[in-house]
Chain A
Amino acid sequence: MGLFDALDISGSGLSAERLRMDVTAENLANAQTTRTATGGPYQRQEVVLAEAQPNNFQTALAGAVGGPSSGTPAGGVDVQGIVNDPAPGRLVFDPGNPDANAQGYVRMPNVNTVTEMVDLISEQRSYEANVTAMQTDKTMLSKTFDLLS
């Protein structure tokens, strides 16, 4: 437990939100990709987040000796992985497209650019919230060091 823990926690939030922004950018960039290495159109990707358990000396000791953990249950956020969205993409009539089927329809990626843009805004705001939390924490820390002067 300490003020530096709060900085680490906000840091985990920053990297998680940055990864979400990266994945959203990837989805937007591939909104029209009909051909991928695995075959078929591009599948929209999504980041899976989970609450991280604190991993510090205090909780490790409490776990080892079987005593109650007196530390804080806050451990930041953990990226569990990036998964594909299995929803099927829409069919577009485009007989001239090399990926069109016998009826002239092309299966497009299941990316909705409007949804992705809204996600991007929400990710940006969450990122900013974490930066603000870090700034508050830094002010508190410098105030504490001020005690020594």
Chain B
Amino acid sequence: MGGRAESTDGRLNLSRPLSLFDNTELGLERAVSGSAERQTLLANNIANASTPGYQPLDVDFHSTLAQAMQTGDAGAIESAQFQPQRSQLAMQADGNGVDVDVESAEMAKNGLDYESLVSVAKARIAILQYSMGSK
């Protein structure tokens, strides 16, 4: 993408102009939305813990995003699609595949994941604000 300063190896290429919001910022934004989507899916799994025949949903947004970020292309990062997957594993007698303990643990992890992403995003905004002398 024109105007982006990253080269494909992820390091800064200072021969091109550096934009205010780079691929890292974009990746952070996409990761936050991926984590929010995952939270929705995990909440759905817990809500359907007693639904006969229900198979749990989950999304691996980390690897999808990692692949997109490897290309170094802002467009690829922006358009990376997080495809939810339905598990086909463990079954109870009624065909339900939800393990509430596993889902709760994943939800706790995802919550921390989300908070760390938001903290990093906040720190980056603080750096920008500082560099602009608005703090």
Contacts and interface: CB of A to CB of B under 8 A. Distances in A.
Contact of A1 (B37, B49, B50): B37
Interface stretch (A9-17, A32-40, A59-67, A92-100): A9-17
Contacts of B39: 3, 6, 136-137, 140
A73 B84 contact: yes
A50 B32 CA distance: 30
Contact of B47 (A1, A9, A140): A9
B75 to A, nearest CB: 16
Contact of B40 (A9, A126, A132, A134): A9
Nearest to A140: B114
B76 interface: no
Nearest to A136: B111
A139 interface: yes
Interface string A32-58: 000000000000000001110000000
B36 A126 contact: no
B114 A126 contact: no
B122 A133 contact: no
Main secondary structure of the interface of B (DSSP, over half): helix
Contact of A72 (B41, B49, B100, B103): B41
A144 B118 contact: yes
A135 B103 CA distance: 14
A2 B84 CA distance: 15
B26 interface: no
B124 to A, nearest CB: 11
Contact of A77 (B33, B48, B121, B122): B48
Interface of B: 32-33, 36-37, 39-44, 46-52, 54, 57, 81, 84, 100, 103-104, 107-108, 110-111, 114-115, 118, 121-122, 125
* Nearest 8 pairs of A and B residues by beta carbon: A13-B47, A74-B44, A6-B43, A49-B51, A6-B40, A9-B43, A136-B111, A77-B47
